[in-house]
A and B are shown apart, each in its own frame.
Chain A
Amino acid sequence: MTSASLLVQILTGLAGASTLFLTGAGLSLIFGVTRVVNFAHGSLFMVGAYLGWTAGEWLRALLPGSAAGFWLATLLATLGVAALGALLETLILRRIYRAPELFQLLATFAVALVLRDGCLWLWGAEDLLGPRVPGLTGALSVLGVPFPRYDAALIVIGPAVLGLMHLLLTRTHFGVLIRAATQDREMVSALGVIESRLFTSVFAIGAGLAGLAGALQLPREPANLGLDLPAISDAFVVVVIGGLGSLPGAFLAALLISLVKAGCVALGTVELGGYSFAFPRLTLVAEFIVMAIVLVVRPYGLMGRPEGALRGPAASPIRPEPETPRSRALWGLAIAALALLPWIASASPYTTVALVDVFCFALFAMSLFFIMGPGGMHSFGHAAYFGLGAYGAAIVLKATGWSMMWGLLIGPLAGFVGALIFGWFSVRLSGVYLAMLTLAFGQIVWSIIYQWDAVTGGSNGLTGLWPAGWLSTRYPGVTPNAAYYLLTLACVGSAVLVLRRVLDAPFGLAVRAGRDSPLRAESIGINVHRIQWMAFCVAGTAAGLAGVLYAFSKGSIAPDLVHVGRSIDGLVMVLLGGVESLAGPLIGAAAFTLLQDSAGRSFDYWRAATGAAMLVVVLAFPQGLAGLARSIRGRAKA
């Protein structure tokens, strides 16, 4: 690599840093003032790209060949997304500012689903190729190496926007209010500032920045329906590395990530002591590795402050309903009915197939609930343990040829080991920072699985994972997968029972104490970090078991098992069911899996439907489905 091409790599990195910064800055601003982690931020970026495309097409006809058309389209897209942000804030977010932060996450995630299908409906599934910007086509020559002119323009735009934002925040009254509200929004309101107006404007500005980033990205990348997830995860990473609420921090973080990525590409494949390592492969996870390192060294990001940590309303107390003879009888009856199902439903074989999925995800959701509800730790990378269980068992069994029953030990063990390592780091953080560190670990596991072709099969995954012998025999008079179904039921049933017992035991009480009041828990001799770490391990083990059961029911596994989308599915299941009761995750997992299963096959817009349903649940029943059931029962009793 010559120094000229290294320079070009760095410049390309800087160009990428600009859009990264814009997206992150918007998210940071919104979080700072409203304390809402806006999961729909990546969708706003995507909408910005689409709006930029439409406005661009339209203006190109009006002003052919003029660069003004592109910049005007970018401006229109920015304003359009800002307006969309204001609308979302007034219609939805305003109602949930006082709700627990998990509900805000769920609501904004639902918005993301709706926006994604909105784009599908308006713009179709085809990628829309962006325009070439008149006057910025072609390349400059940097020491003889070509460098796209448009990228050069981007390098200027990022710092320019940072400068403008800085002026807005320091030189205007509105900016002073934003900075004040970032520290203490209640006090700002008590001084007579109309909170709702301030929040709407801040949301609009943040959304507008995301829209701007999306529209600016258009000449480099076509508008498509896959833009939202990477954009949101990038934005999270930038904001967390930089420190929540800090714009200079976000800028620094964007630079750091982009330069590390450029560095990885520049290094190429390096031979070291006989091993060769392809650094460019690291670009997929570079940002997560950087984030993990930064969070371990500086738990509040590069320029964040401890008081910037989440100071949300105290988590609602989770008091597991005591076991009564009636509830025990109900559980017993439900399990008995499920156990008889292969005989009852022998005419419709799909039932037990679908239910195996439901069971696996119920255990997955339950294990996530275990650290999220009673533990108060929001894991955004829980799929890692599910995937480690599935891949760990699959790899060992394929290599050794052992029976699948060993997998039931190896899977949980793999999940346990993963949680042992990641949990140790994660429990040192809290709130959004903890969530992001778990996300980083999840992405790291994903990228290893995705890229380690020799062992994990890479993007193709592993196939031929069938349970042997009696488990796959077809017996007369029952559904075809009856044996496997019953095995899953038995494993999941006992695991859930164990988790429940653990929560009622002193250990469970200590976990809850650590959530509700870490200081007091410490003062009565509870080692909060150790307890939380152990909770992580328990959850990882259970998720690992769910992973093996799932893998061998499908016969094949692929990296999407570990993808961040799967972690989010888990969060949605838990939140949908409600974090306040133990039945919640089970009900949520069943509802979500069945809904996705049936809607996904018959209806193009199932995401929007799911999102809308989630919004209704969040806005109308902030206790989740299980809470809804409880309040109906309560009313019936009254």
Chain B
Amino acid sequence: MTRTAGAPPIVEVRGLRAWYGPAQILFDIDLTLERGSVVALMGRNGAGKSTTFKAIMGLLGRVEGTIRFEGNDVRGRPAWHMARAGLGYVPEDRRIFTELTVMENLAVGRQPRRDDAPFWTPERVFELFPNLGRMRDRRGGEMSGGEQQMLTVARTLMGNPRAILLDEPSEGVAPVIVEQMASMILDLKREGLSVLLSEQDPGFAGAVSDRACILDRGQIRFDGTMQSLIASPDIGHAYLGL
């Protein structure tokens, strides 16, 4: 994959506001995901990380502001349009299809090959997640939490995305799996994918991300490199409870 100088960021969010019913959750969020980079969106529970992802993905009713994907304004587009445009989404609560087998779960995510993104087949996905390859016909509901977490990522990769929104991949899974997730993110980055990651664990975020954004009560409080965040412990203290 070539990186063209001056090309627009793959995901660019400006002045994003979002509501659940009458309650406003996001207040003028600005976010940039450069091509081939990994950005961690951090913040406490309830800060608005998942809501930001859903807003970008077109899964919320009321959203204002600008959302650009590869330079195109995509706000108000339905979720399937975003997925087909090359934006993958891995939700926080996994949401795998429990009645479907591993292979069938992957089939739901399948999209045609794209010239400018890595092409995934079940076999390639199983190279990344060898465990899944050993349980192709197991139903989603009969898998452990960690295996389910891998399956959601794998299912999203089957859509051959150029960027993915990864919502709390380390939440509630065993440390071994967390390590696997971290190395998987770095693998994807090496393949040229851009990743917007929501994360509460600073160790995990620090290990994989280039930049960090900190969200607190629906507002961005910090946006900078991972190093500069580590260098300012008061920010971590104030917004992440470190």
Contacts and interface: CB of A to CB of B under 8 A. Distances in A.
A98 B21 CA distance: 13
B159 A192 contact: yes
B22 to A, nearest CB: 9
B84 A187 contact: no
A179 B84 contact: no
Contacts of B79: 186, 189-190
Interface string A157-187: 0000000000000000100110110111011
B201 interface: no
Contacts of A189: 78-80, 83
B59 A190 contact: yes
Given A179-B97, A184-B95, A184-B97, A190 B80 contact: yes
Contact of B108 (A191, A195, A314): A191
B116 interface: no
A188 B96 CA distance: 10
A458 B98 CA distance: 51
A100 B13 CA distance: 31
B111 A192 contact: yes
B55 to A, nearest CB: 13
A183 B140 CA distance: 12
B53 to A, nearest CB: 10
A242 to B, nearest CB: 16
Interface of A is mostly: helix
Contact of B155 (A98, A173, A191, A314): A191
A405 interface: no
Given A173-B107, A176-B107, A190 B89 contact: yes
B48 interface: no
A195 B83 CA distance: 12
Interface string B94-113: 01011110001101111100
Contact of B109 (A184, A186, A191, A314): A191
A193 interface: yes
A179 B109 contact: no
A180 B57 contact: no
A192 B100 contact: no
Given A176-B104, A180-B97, A191-B108, A186 B84 contact: no
A183 B78 contact: no
Contact of A183 (B59, B97, B107): B97
A314 B22 CA distance: 13
A393 B155 CA distance: 64
A262 to B, nearest CB: 33
A191 B106 CA distance: 10
Contacts of B107: 173, 176
Contacts of A122: none
A194 interface: yes
Interface in B38-80: 57, 59, 61, 78-80
B36 interface: no
- The winner among A173, A176, A182 for most chain B CB atoms within 10 A is A176
Interface in A288-309: none
B84 A192 contact: yes
A177 B108 contact: yes
Contacts of B61: 98
A586 B97 CA distance: 44
A180 B80 contact: no
Contacts of A190: 57, 59, 79-80, 82-83, 89, 91
Contact of B100 (A176, A186, A193): A176
Interface residues of B, number: 27
A627 B111 CA distance: 43
B156 interface: yes
A451 B82 CA distance: 60
B118 to A, nearest CB: 16
Contacts of B98: 183
A180 B91 contact: no
Interface string B6-38: 000000000000000100000000000000000
A176 B109 CA distance: 11
B78 A191 contact: no
A188 B99 CA distance: 14
Nearest to B107: A176
Contacts of A188: 108
A549 to B, nearest CB: 40
A177 B105 CA distance: 9
Contacts of A179: 97, 99-100, 104
A192 B80 contact: yes
Contact of A192 (B59, B83, B105): B83
B59 A180 contact: no
A244 B82 CA distance: 31
A176 B82 CA distance: 21
A192 B104 contact: no
A248 to B, nearest CB: 13
Contacts of B95: 184, 187
- The winner among A98, A187, A192, A314 for most chain B CB atoms within 10 A is A192
A170 to B, nearest CB: 9
A190 B164 CA distance: 12
A329 to B, nearest CB: 30
A617 B199 CA distance: 46
Contacts of A183: 97-99
A193 B111 CA distance: 9
Contacts of A180: 97, 100, 104-105, 108
A190 B110 CA distance: 12
B108 A176 contact: yes
Interface in B110-155: 110-111, 155
A249 to B, nearest CB: 13
Contacts of B100: 176, 179-180
Interface in A17-50: none
Nearest to B108: A180
A176 B140 CA distance: 13
A530 B107 CA distance: 46
A148 B91 CA distance: 56
A193 B97 contact: no
Contacts of B84: 192
Given A191-B109, A192-B159, A186 B59 contact: yes
A191 B156 contact: yes
A414 B83 CA distance: 58
Nearest to A188: B108
A177 B82 CA distance: 18
A183 B61 CA distance: 21
Contact of B80 (A176, A182, A193): A193
Contacts of B109: 191-192
B163 to A, nearest CB: 14
Nearest to A184: B95
- The winner among B78, B98, B100, B108 for most chain A CB atoms within 10 A is B108
A177 B109 CA distance: 9
Contacts of A191: 80, 83, 89, 108-109, 155-156, 159
- The winner among A176, A191, A193, A314 for most chain B CB atoms within 10 A is A191
A49 B95 CA distance: 41
Contacts of A314: 21
B80 A194 contact: yes
Contacts of B105: 180
A183 B108 CA distance: 12
8 contacts: A98-B61, A179-B97, A189-B80, A190-B59, A191-B109, A191-B155, A192-B83, A192-B84
Instruction: Please provide the 3 A-B residue pairs with the shortest distance between their CB atoms, ordered closest to farther.
Output: A192-B83, A190-B79, A189-B79
Given A190-B57, A191-B155, 9 more contacts: A173-B110, A176-B107, A187-B91, A189-B80, A190-B89, A191-B80, A192-B80, A192-B159, A195-B78
